[in-house]
Amino acid sequence: MSEENPYAITTKDLDLWYGDFQALEKVSLNIKDGIITGLIGPSGCGKTTFLRCLNRVNERYGNVRTEGTINLLGKNIYDPDVSLIELRKSVGMVFQRPNPLPISVYDNIVFGLRVHSPRIELKRSILDDAVEQALREVMLWDDLKDNLKEKATELQLEQQQKLCIARLLPLKPEIILMDEPCSALDVGATTAVEELMLTLAGKYTIVIVTHNMAQARRISHECIFMLLGEIVEHDRTEKIFLNPTNQKTSDYIEGRYG
């Protein structure tokens, strides 16, 4: 990202409808490169819908209509020449519950490389290096290096979620989207995944949806507060939690609704 454009994601007047229901209204945002940005707000406010716009996953659902622009890394993702395959390589996603494939740890990590290189015979050494590098980056190499043939679905939940993050890395994403990635984890596993996110910040731009206000405060550098499909406030996390500009933000942070 150049100094002239410090933003990884820029949206302008983004509207989205599910049928006749408008879920997002005039969402205009600048999300900085290389930081963790938290999306907070009550259930049904549009957080996950917005997140899924960023890699156009919403288009998998019927009766969805979108207007406005989303510029990722300098290009509008709704331009007709945009490849969804390439977009989703650049913008990885982690979901609420760990969803490793029911195959080995090794094959989970190289799955994306094989899918995106169907006509290329990938050397075993390339795959081996990709697996080791990805597992090291998510701090799982020491735990799993002797168990790469183990079925991924038999790992602990914390390890499964870290593996789901590792699975994205061989494709060299620039943005990682996380939809409540700790909601199925216990306190210890949540702490471990949060520590991982903080180590990944700087290398990747991370956008995380969370209902956990303490988590948002711990790990995000900036927060976006959404309500009824609109952006109410976007600022440094410290400012959002200690001195919000909008009364609606203050009411939500203090637990008066949501």
| DSSP state string for 58-126 | GGGSTTEEEEEEEEETTEETTSTT--HHHHHHHEEEE-SS----SSBHHHHHHHHHHHH-TTS---HHH
**Strands 91-94 and 175-179, how do they pair?**
parallel
Average pLDDT value for residue range 218-240:
98
Around Cβ 217, how many Cβ atoms within 10 Å? 18
* pTM for the whole structure: 0.93
Tens of pLDDT, residues 122-151:
889 999 999 999 999 999 999 999 999 999
| φ, ψ dihedrals at 166, nearest 5° | -60, -35
Q: How confident is the model at residue 213 (pLDDT cuts 50, 70, 90)?
A: very high
In the prediction, which pLDDT does 5 show? 72
Asked whether residue 212 is domain-assigned, the answer is yes
Residue that the structure tokens 């406010």 belong to: 45
- Structural domains in the chain (count): 1
Q: Nearest CA to 47 among 256, 221, 240, 216?
A: 216
The answer to whether residue 67 is domain-embedded is no
Q: What is the mean pLDDT of residues 88-103?
A: 94
Rounded to whole angstroms, the Cα distance separating 112 from 119 reads 13
Domain of 163 in residue numbering reads as: 33-45+83-253
The letter for the amino acid at 218 is R
Give the per-residue pLDDT at 199.
96
Q: What is the C-alpha to C-alpha distance for residues 129 and 148, in angstroms, rounded to an integer? A: 13
Asked whether residue 234 is domain-assigned, the answer is yes
User: 172 versus 3: which is more confidently predicted?
Assistant: 172
The residue among 228 and 115 whose pLDDT is bigger is 228
Which pair of tokens denotes residue 90? Answer: 């650049």
Q: What is the pLDDT of residue 60?
A: 85
Q: Count the Cβ atoms, other than its own, within 10 Å of residue 82.
A: 14
Least confident interval from 37-41, 61-65, 151-155, 224-228 = 61-65
* Banded pLDDT at 258 (limits 50, 70, 90): low
CATH number for 131: 3.40.50.300
Q: In this structure, is residue 51 part of a structural domain?
A: no
Rounded percentage of the chain residues whose pLDDT exceeds 70: 97
Contact call for residues 92 and 51 (beta carbons, < 8 A) = no
Q: Which are the contacts of 190, defined by CB distance < 8 A and separation ≥ 6?
A: 182, 215
Q: Tell me, yes or no, whether 227 lies in a domain.
A: yes
Q: Answer yes or no: is pLDDT of 118 > 70.
A: no
- As a whole number of angstroms, the distance between CA 156 and CA 128 comes to 23
Structure confidence at residue 4 (pLDDT): 66
On whether residue 13 sits in a domain, the answer given is: no
**Residue partners of 176: CB distance under 8 A and separation at least 6:** 91, 92, 93, 94, 165, 168, 200, 204, 205, 206, 207
Q: What is the mean pLDDT of the chain?
A: 94
pLDDT of residue 256: 81
In this prediction, residues 205-225 reach a mean pLDDT of 97
Does 47 score more than 70 pLDDT? yes
CB atoms within 10 A of CB 209: 24
When pLDDT is averaged across residues 49-71 and rounded to a whole number, the result is 93
